[in-house]
């Protein structure tokens, strides 16, 4: 004990005044008065600069309202302290709720800004993490003769700082300008916070490692005095599991590499790992206690209604999404091609992969200079890809690669350091050396910025808002809309619950009807609809709860499967018939896509109703006569006017734009069927204005024009 106390005193006396200073050969000849700023302060100043740059960028390109995918649902959950879709993301919900209370702008933009703040902080953390790597490297024994070369005079002392902070700044900017983090920094989603928490863990672990390496080099004694950094990382890890636990959990092997390479196997049989585990578990339990507490208050969106331990586990484990996991060779092959494409475009145009080349150089440099860092980065990529290659969900798939993108950005910083070392070895004027170093540190981020700006500038992004308003504009008062399009249902939650827009329209998500919690939402939003079809709804919900408790039993028993399918169909049939007595009923086009789940429903609708295209939905007309409707006047800001750009796999191109073009084409066909060719031509031309290559619209236009020429 006395020996350890003496070692601690020697460390404090020797390092307290220059705690973050790298050990170059001439650093001991410099006094604190000769340096304008300590390395510790410079580290935080660099991180602060990256944070401000990123925050300004994300704020400028921030989406001004609700966006697609999960944004609408998440905003409603955050605003009302509800329960989000699995795994529930309780930590994000609580923090986003605070953001939603800000008295500035609409609720959507407030929560969007919280993403900008989290993403900007994450970019700054990359700078801190890389600076930690660089400073730790100065304490490590060198592996090659070339690596031992140090600046030999006071004029070159600044090269040590350059080798630390130029790579750190470059990596921070590279992360800030990356396509995925930038995207999730401008919309409501959980992934910006997730990235921030992962990087906080990395920073704390590498600060812990650096302090131990430095102390061990000075005293040679076993070191435990710096474990507060380790325990802080354990606390953040437990809290982070309350955001997006999958990607956080995938970093655990990489964190274990840091621990093993720093303290060896003895750490894993010591009390220290037990303390760290208890801290993480305690934080995890505390943050997930939110779920039953929130559910007990019956919020507007109470996904899964997780009150019992079993229901909480089902929700946290994401039981309903396990069907998207597949370990077949075909799936893995397809996902591998997709991952290659995502990585190639993440940091700029695929045809200019300078950031990726720097990352490869960084990996090679880490292998030669700091094997711990090399294995750490490699394990991040391996663990992340091992999961992602078996996961088939599409709309936010890029977010699952964020750990890999973090690893590439950090490796890019190491590549910048390697390039600067090459410059240092060459005889040249110091000024020229600094200019070249700054150029390479800024060039890779500049490529990422220029390549990603067109896709990530959401300053004028009104796609989801226009989509919802265009839908509602043609629905009659008190009408019902059946849909299974999440791009309709999610922003519709926001429009009706937050903006209080067209609360008279009963929007029913057919997919969510297969979840018992959704009927609580329907009772809250449309009590009269539920009351009119109560008998059929209660019958279906009863068997639905049986299925939720044991879906395997239904898979084994054909009679049970047929029974729940029949109850589901009878319930929706009852809704359509009963609501049609009050006001028109509408469906979105996706319900006409025959599948194994909705095949009987689709068949019944088409056999019993005429599908009259009205705006972006079909009106279910009980007779076969011509039903006139006003010309739709769609607001399509950014959809196809060139003001916004979308990747080929963007949900706008895959799901939203086809709805506009197909419904305009269907309107043209319907009008042409009743010899309204002049009006049909208008509809076909509107479809072609959105998609000039649409063959169905071109064919319909040609036929109507021919009819007008030859009546």
Per-residue 3-state assignment (H helix, E strand, C coil) for 430-465: HHHHHHHHHHHHHHHHHHHHHHHHHHHCCCCCCHHH
Which pLDDT score, from 0 to 100, does residue 2 have? 42
Looking up tokens 């102390």, which residue turns up? 215
Which pLDDT score, from 0 to 100, does residue 552 have? 87
Q: What is the C-alpha to C-alpha distance for residues 492 and 471, in angstroms, rounded to an integer?
A: 10
Q: What is the C-alpha to C-alpha distance for residues 331 and 334, in angstroms, rounded to an integer?
A: 5
Name, in order, each residue with C-beta under 8 angstroms of 266's C-beta and a sequence gap of 6 or more: none
Q: What is the C-alpha to C-alpha distance for residues 574 and 273, in angstroms, rounded to an integer?
A: 59
Which pLDDT score, from 0 to 100, does residue 154 have? 44
Dihedral sign for Cα atoms in the order 330, 332, 336, 338: positive
Name, in order, each residue with C-beta under 8 angstroms of 600's C-beta and a sequence gap of 6 or more: 565, 569
Residues in the chain: 711
Dihedral sign for Cα atoms in the order 569, 570, 571, 574: positive
Q: What is the C-alpha to C-alpha distance for residues 352 and 370, in angstroms, rounded to an integer?
A: 28
Peptide bond preceding 485 in cis form (omega within 30 of 0): no
Which pLDDT score, from 0 to 100, does residue 19 have? 37
Q: What is the C-alpha to C-alpha distance for residues 251 and 50, in angstroms, rounded to an integer?
A: 24
User: Do the beta carbons of residue 447 and residue 552 sit within 8 Å?
Assistant: no
Number of Cβ atoms within 10 Å of the Cβ of 627: 15
Q: Using CB atoms within 10 Å of the CB of residue 286, give its burial: 0 to 12 exposed, 13 to 18 middle, 19+ buried.
A: middle
Q: What is the C-alpha to C-alpha distance for residues 17 and 187, in angstroms, rounded to an integer?
A: 43
Which pLDDT score, from 0 to 100, does residue 698 have? 95
Q: Using CB atoms within 10 Å of the CB of residue 274, give its burial: 0 to 12 exposed, 13 to 18 middle, 19+ buried.
A: exposed
Name, in order, each residue with C-beta under 8 angstroms of 39's C-beta and a sequence gap of 6 or more: 18, 20, 21, 22, 135, 161, 164
Kindly list the domain boundaries of the chain, sorted by start residue: 2-24+36-326, 469-487+500-617
Dihedral sign for Cα atoms in the order 368, 231, 1, 257: negative
The string of pLDDT tens digits covering residues 304-315 is: 999 999 899 989
Q: What is the C-alpha to C-alpha distance for residues 336 and 558, in angstroms, rounded to an integer?
A: 37
Number of Cβ atoms within 10 Å of the Cβ of 677: 21
Dihedral sign for Cα atoms in the order 663, 669, 671, 674: negative
415-429 in b/e form (b: 16+ CB < 10 A) is: bbbbbbbebbeeeee
Which pLDDT score, from 0 to 100, does residue 6 have? 47
10-residue averages of pLDDT along the chain (711 residues): 45 41 40 48 90 98 96 97 95 97 95 98 96 81 48 51 84 96 97 97 95 77 78 97 91 95 90 95 96 95 93 85 66 83 92 93 92 95 89 80 96 92 73 77 93 95 96 96 96 97 96 95 96 96 93 90 93 96 95 76 92 96 91 92 89 95 96 94 95 94 90 63
Q: What is the C-alpha to C-alpha distance for residues 268 and 274, in angstroms, rounded to an integer?
A: 9
Name, in order, each residue with C-beta under 8 angstroms of 46's C-beta and a sequence gap of 6 or more: 127, 131, 165, 168, 169, 172
Torsion of CA 118, 119, 125, 129, to 10 degrees: 130
Chain-centroid distance of CA 232 in Å reads 25
User: Do the beta carbons of residue 365 and residue 420 sit within 8 Å?
Assistant: no
User: Do the beta carbons of residue 392 and residue 362 sit within 8 Å?
Assistant: no
Which pLDDT score, from 0 to 100, does residue 435 have? 80
Which pLDDT score, from 0 to 100, does residue 439 have? 84
Name, in order, each residue with C-beta under 8 angstroms of 536's C-beta and a sequence gap of 6 or more: 567, 570, 571, 573, 574, 575
- According to DSSP, the residues that pair with 613 across neighbouring strands are 618
Which pLDDT score, from 0 to 100, does residue 330 have? 77
What backbone phi and psi angles, to 5 degrees, belong to 300? Answer: -55, -50
């Amino acid at each position: 004990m006395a020996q350890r106390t003496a070692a601690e005193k020697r460390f404090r006396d020797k390092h307290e005044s220059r705690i973050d200073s790298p050990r170059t050969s001439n650093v001991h000849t410099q006094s604190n008065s000769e340096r304008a700023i300590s390395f510790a302060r410079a580290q935080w100043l660099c991180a602060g600069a990256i944070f401000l740059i990123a925050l300004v960028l994300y704020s400028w390109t921030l989406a001004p309202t609700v966006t697609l995918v999960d944004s609408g649902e998440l905003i409603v959950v955050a605003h009302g302290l509800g329960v989000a879709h699995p795994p529930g993301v309780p930590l994000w919900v609580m923090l986003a709720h605070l953001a939603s209370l800000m008295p500035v702008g609409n609720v959507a933009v407030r929560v969007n800004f919280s993403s900008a703040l989290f993403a900007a902080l994450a970019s700054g953390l990359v700078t801190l993490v890389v600076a930690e790597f660089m400073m730790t490297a100065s304490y490590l024994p060198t592996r090659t003769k070339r690596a031992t070369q140090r600046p030999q005079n006071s004029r070159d002392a600044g090269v040590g700082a350059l080798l630390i902070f130029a790579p750190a700044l470059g990596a921070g900017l590279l992360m800030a300008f990356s396509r995925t983090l930038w995207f999730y920094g401008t919309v409501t989603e959980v992934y910006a916070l997730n990235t921030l928490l992962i990087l906080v863990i990395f920073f704390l672990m590498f600060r812990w490692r650096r302090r131990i390496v430095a102390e061990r080099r000075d005293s040679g004694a076993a070191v435990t005095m710096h474990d507060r950094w380790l325990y802080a990382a354990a606390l953040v890890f437990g809290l982070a599991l309350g955001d997006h636990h999958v990607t956080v959990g995938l970093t655990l092997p990489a964190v274990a590499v840091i621990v093993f390479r720093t303290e060896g196997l003895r750490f894993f049989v010591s009390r220290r790992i037990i303390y760290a585990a208890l801290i993480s578990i305690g934080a995890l339990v505390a943050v997930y206690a939110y779920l039953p507490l929130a559910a007990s208050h019956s919020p507007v969106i109470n996904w899964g209604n997780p009150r019992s331990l079993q229901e909480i586990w089902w929700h946290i484990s994401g039981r309903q999404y396990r069907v998207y996991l597949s370990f077949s060779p075909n799936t893995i092959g397809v996902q591998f091609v997709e991952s290659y494409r995502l990585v190639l475009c993440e940091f700029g145009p695929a045809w200019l992969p300078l950031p990726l080349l720097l990352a490869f150089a960084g990996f090679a440099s880490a292998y030669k200079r700091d094997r711990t860092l090399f294995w750490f980065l490699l394990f991040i990529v391996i663990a992340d890809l091992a999961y992602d290659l078996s996961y088939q969900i599409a709309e936010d798939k890029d977010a699952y690669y964020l750990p890999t993108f973090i690893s590439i950005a950090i490796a890019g910083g190491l590549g910048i350091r390697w390039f600067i070392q090459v410059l240092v070895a060459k005889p040249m004027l110091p000024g020229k050396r600094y200019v070249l170093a700054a150029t390479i540190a800024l060039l890779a981020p500049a490529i990422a910025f220029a390549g990603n700006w067109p896709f990530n500038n959401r300053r004028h992004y009104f796609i989801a808002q226009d989509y919802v308003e265009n839908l509602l504009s043609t629905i009659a008062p008190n009408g019902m809309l059946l849909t299974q399009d999440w791009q309709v249902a999610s922003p519709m939650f926001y429009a009706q619950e937050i903006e209080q827009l067209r609360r008279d329209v009963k929007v029913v998500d057919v997919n969510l009807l297969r979840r018992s919690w959704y009927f609580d939402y329907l009772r809250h939003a449309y009590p009269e609809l539920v009351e009119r079809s109560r008998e059929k709804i209660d019958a279906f919900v009863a068997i639905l709860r049986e299925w939720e408790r044991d879906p395997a039993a239904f898979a084994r028993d054909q009679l049970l499967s047929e029974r729940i399918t029949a109850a589901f169909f009878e319930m929706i049939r009852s809704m359509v018939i009963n609501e049609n007595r009050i006001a028109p009923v509408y469906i979105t086009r996706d319900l006409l896509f025959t599948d194994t789940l909705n095949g009987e429903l689709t068949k019944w609708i088409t056999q019993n109703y005429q599908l009259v295209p009205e705006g972006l939905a079909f009106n279910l007309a009980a007779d076969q006569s011509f039903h006139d409707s006003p010309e739709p006047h769609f607001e399509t800001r950014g959809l196809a006017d060139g003001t916004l750009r979308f990747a080929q796999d963007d949900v706008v191109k895959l799901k939203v734009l086809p709805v506009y073009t197909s419904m305009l084409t269907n309107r043209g066909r319907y009008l042409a069927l009743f010899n309204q060719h002049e009006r049909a031509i208008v509809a076909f031309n509107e479809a072609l204005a959105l998609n000039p290559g649409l063959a169905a619209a071109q064919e319909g236009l040609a036929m109507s024009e021919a009819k007008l020429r030859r009546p």
